[in-house]
Structure 1
C-alpha cells in the first residue's frame, strides 16, 4: 500500500493539474510533501517502534495513513491535498519500519526470516509495479480521488486483522528518540525543498527564496552539529568515516534523485507531449517499474558473484544512458522506440539499489546493520525529494524562457542521465580504491549462528 502510493500518484498528475487548476509547482508539492515526511521520519519511526511496541506503531501508522488517504480523496483544493499528503507521509514513516520489525520478530530463525522478508519485498515490488497501471485505470474510470480512496478498504482490513493476529514486541534497549535531530532535519530539508520548488515561480533572487535557502543551510548545519554531539543521534556521523558507507549513500542519493525525479515526468511526457490518454500513459510507463521488479531479485546474487563495484557501476551507467536516450524522444517518436529506453532505466536502477544497500550494511558492524539499511532508505528518499524539485525547476525555467513542454522535459531527462553517469564514474573510481574485502558481498548467516532481532529501521 505504501509503495503503491508512491507510484500511483504519477499517473494521476495530469488529471490533478486539470481538475485542481494547479501548475507544475502544485504537482511537485503533491509528490514531495509525501516523500519529504517519509524521508525525514523513517529512522525516527523505527526507534518509536522499538521503544513503544511494533504492533502499536504499525496499527497507528495504518490508521493515520488510511485517514489521510480519505482526506486526500475528498480534498477540495490543492492546499488540503498537500496537507493530506503530509499526513500520509507521517503514517507511512511509522507503518513501513514497524511492518518489517514485526516480521523479523515473528521469524527468529535466520533462514525463515530471510524467506519471510523476501516475500515482504516481493509484495512491495508488486505495489511498486502496479502503481502506474492501477493509477491509469482508476483515474480513467473515476478521476484522481479514486487513487487515494482505494486505500480505505485496505487500511480497514489491516486494522481489524492486525488487532486480532499480530503479537506485540519491543526492544527494551532501544535508544532514546532524537527529537532535536528529527525537527532540524525536517525543517532544514523542507526549507531547501521550498526554495527549489518555489524559486521558479517567485524568482531565484527573491527575498523569500534566498531566505529559505539560508534558513535551510543554517538548520542543516545545526543538524550536523547536534548529531555530532548527541549521545543517541538518529544519524551517527561516525559511520561516514567508512569510505564504502559514504560512497554507497552518496550514490543512493543520486539514485533517488534521478529515478523519482524523472519518473515524476513520465506520464506528463506521454500525455502532454505525445497526446496519450491518462490510462494509456499509465500503461506506457510500466516498463521501468516492471524491469526493476524483475531485475532486483537477481542484483544481490550478481553482487555476490562479481562484487558491489561492478554491479553498481554497470547499473548506474545503464540507467544514465537510458535517461539520456529518453531525453532525445520527441512528440513523433513511436512507442516502439520509447519503451526500451524506459526498460533500460528500470534495469539499471534495479541492478543498483539492492547492492548499494548491501554495501552500506557491509561497511558497518553487524549490530548496526538495521541502522545502516534505514539510513540507505532515507538517503534515497532525500534524493527523491531533491530530484522532483530540481528537475521540476529545470522544466519550469525552460518553459518560462518560451520553450515548449517537450524541450523542458528533454532537458530534465538529460540532466538526470548526466548526473547518474557522473555518479557511476565516481562510484566506480572510489570503490576501486577499496579493498576486495570491503566491497565483497556479505556472507549469509550460518545455520548455527545465534539469531538476532534487527532494529525496525531495517527496510
Structure 2
C-alpha cells in the first residue's frame, strides 16, 4: 500500500525554506528547553508542594522516560501519516499538558503531566529533523540546515538555566509551564502556514511488533538507568531491567530483519557512517549532561549563585554550541565527518579534564570559563557532522525513524551521564560529608536537614544563610568548606570517567569510520527509488 505523497518540498523558494527552517527550529527549541527549564524550578516546587528531592527528580525523569521511549514509534508515525501533522499534534499536546502542569496541586499531578508531555514532545522532535532532510536536498544546504538544528538543540539545553532563573526571579514555579502554552500554539500555527507536509512515499503493513518491542526496549533501559543510582547498579531490579531491555532489543532486531516493512532497518547499524556517529552523539551527550549536572551544583552550591546568576554565567557554553555547530559542519563537508568528530571528542576531553581540576578558590574567568567554552565547542563539533552523517545514511522514506535513532541516542547518553556521573559525585561527597554532618548538634540541624546536606552541596545555600550562635560560627564555616571541597573532589573522579569515555570513542571512530568524505546518500537513495 502506498500513501499519497505530499507535493515536493523542494518547490519552495529559498526564502520559503528559510522560514520553514525557522519554524522547525522553534518547535525543537520548545521541546528541548522544556526538558531543562524545569530543573531550575525544582526547589520552588518542592517547597510549595512539600515533597522530597527524590520525588522532585521524577518531575524531570518522567518526561525523559516517555520522551525517549516513544521517539522511534512517533518518528515512524510521522513518516507514515505526515511529519508536519504529527509535529503539530505534539505541539498542541505540549500546550494542553503544560496547562495541566501549571494548575497541578500536588506532586503526583505534576509528574503525570510531565510524563504525558514527554509523549507529545516525542511526536515533535524526530519530525523536525526529518522535515529538514526533505526540505533541503542540496548537500551543502542540507548540512547547514542540520547544523542549525543541532546548534539549536545544544543552545536550548544551555540557556534553560537562564530562562528558568529569569522566570523564577519574577514569577512562581507555575510560570515554567505557562510559558509553553503561547509558544506552542504560535509555532503550531506557523507550521501549518509555512512548513509543507512530507511523508514516506512507500509504506508497508503497520509494524505493531516492531513498535511495541522498541518501546519496551528503550523504556526499560532508560527506567533502569534512572533508578540504578538509588536501587544499586547491580541490584536485582537493575539486573532485571537490563535483561528485559536486552531481550526486547534482540527481539526487535530479529523481527525487523524478517518483516517486509520494518520500523527501522537494523542493517543500518552495520553502516559505520550511521552507527559510529550515533555512538559519538551518545558519548557527547553523556559528557554534556554530566557536565551540566555538575556545573549546576558548582554554581549554586560552591559559588552560591542565584538561579539567574547561574544561568547568566553558563551562557558562554550556549554561545560556544551555537557558533561551533555550523562551522564544524562546513569543515566536515570538505574534510569528512571522521576527522571533525574525532577532533570534537578530543576537545570535549580537554574541557572536562580542565573542569575536573576546579577547586573552591578557582576563579570563574580562567579554568571554569575555559572548560565551559571547550565543552560547548566540542559538543557542537561532534553533533553537527555526526547528525548529518546519520541522516545521510537513511533514505527519505525512513527519515523520521532515522531521526528518532539520532534523538534516542542523545536521550540515553544524557540519562547515563546524569546517572553515572551523578552517582560518582554523590558517593564521594557523601563519604566525606556524612560524618561531619552527623557531628553537628541536633539543636542546630534536624535529621531531615542533615540528610539533605549529606546528599548535595546545594544545601550550602540554606546552611550559609541560617542564623547560628557565635559559638558555632567557626564549625559552620568549616562544614561549608568541607562540603564544597568534597563535591569538587567528586567532580574530579567523574571527569576521569568522562575523559576516558571520550578518548575511547575517539579512538574507535578514528580506527573504524571511513575518513574519506561520503557522497550524499540521501539523494542517491532518492534517485534510486525513483528509477
TM over 0.5: yes
Q: How many Å apart are 1:348 and its aligned residue?
A: 0.6
Aligned residue in 2 for 1:254: 283
Please name the residue that 2:121 is paired with.
92
Tell me: CA distance 1:74–1:326, structure 2 relative to 1, closer, same or farther (3 Å): farther
Unaligned stretches of 5+ in structure 1? 455-459
Q: After superposition, where does 1:95-244 map in structure 2 within 5 Å?
A: 95-99=124-128, 127-161=156-190, 170-204=199-233, 206-244=235-273
Q: Residue 25 of structure 1: CA displacement?
A: 4.2
Q: Matched residues in 2 for 1:204 and 1:370: separation? A: 33
Are positions 1:426 and 2:503 aligned together?
Answer: no
Partner of 2:482: none
State yes or no: 1:394 paired with 2:428: no
Cα offsets for 1:388-445 (capped at 9, x unmatched): 22223223333443444443344334322321222122222223xx3x4xx4154699
Query: Superposed, which structure 2 residues align to 1:366-381 within 5 Å?
Result: 371-381=401-411
Are 2:494 and 1:412 aligned?
A: yes
* Structure 2 residue corresponding to 1:282, chosen from 311, 324, 334: 311
Q: CA deviation at 1:317?
A: 0.7
Which of the numbers 277, 293, 313 marks the counterpart of 2:342?
313
CA contact (8 A) 2:78 2:400 kept: no
Q: Is 1:294 equivalent to 2:323 in the alignment?
A: yes
Retained in 2: the 8 A contact 1:317–1:421? Answer: yes
Displacement, 1:272? 1.6
**Which digits, 9 at most, give the CA deviation of each residue in 1:67-86, with x for residues without a partner?**
22223333334433332222
- The answer to whether the 8 Å contact 2:162/2:307 transfers is no
Q: Which moved more, 1:362-371 or 1:307-316?
A: 362-371
Q: Is contact 1:315-1:347 (8 Å) kept?
A: yes
Unaligned runs of 5+ in 2: 1-29, 434-485
Cα distance, 1:133 vs structure 2:
1.6
RMSD: 3.5
- Larger CA deviation: 172-181 vs 279-288: 172-181
Q: C-alpha displacement at 1:154, in angstroms?
A: 1.3
Higher Cα Rg: structure 1 or 2?
2
Matching residue of 2:479: none
Decide whether the 8 Å contact of 2:158 with 2:318 is kept in 1: yes
Deviation at 1:295, TM superposition (A): 0.8
In the alignment, what sits opposite 1:457?
Answer: none
Cα distance between partner residues in 2 of 1:76 and 1:210: 36
Match of 2:25 in 1: none
Cα distance in 2 between the residues matched to 1:311 and 1:16: 42
Per-residue deviation, 1:92: 1.5
